[in-house]
Amino acid sequence: MSTVDEIKEAIQINKKRLAQELQESKELVFLIKKSITTNLTDEEKAKVKEQTIDICKAIPAFTVFMLPGGALLLPLLIKLIPDILPSAFRVDGEDIIEKK
């Protein structure tokens, strides 16, 4: 496989991961709105907690990426601190491709 093909595949995988993370964030907004009028179940509270943590993880990863040389530094940080990425980005790329 050529480098161009590998880049295209990586873009497609990450596009699907971003879409998954956005979908989960929409669910978070729905649950927060729901919590205003009713009490959430324990399962819903767990989802809110998980998604809030994912959003908090995405901000530092994005910040590192935006730094000069961040595109080189972020993969190194991911190797050292694998939990720095939101949950949608920790799934193997093959799993994302299969979910098409």
pTM: 0.58
pLDDT for the residue 84 = 66
pLDDT for the residue 13 = 75
CB atoms within 10 A of CB 21: 19
- With 0-12 CB in 10 A as exposed, 13-18 as middle and 19+ as buried, what is 75? exposed
pLDDT for the residue 19 = 79
Give the integer Cα–Cα distance in Å for 72 and 21: 23
Helix axes 70-80, 42-66, angle to 10 degrees: 140
pLDDT for the residue 39 = 93
pLDDT for the residue 94 = 47
pLDDT for the residue 100 = 44
Question: What are the residue ranges in the chain where pLDDT is below 50?
Answer: 93-94, 96-97, 99-100
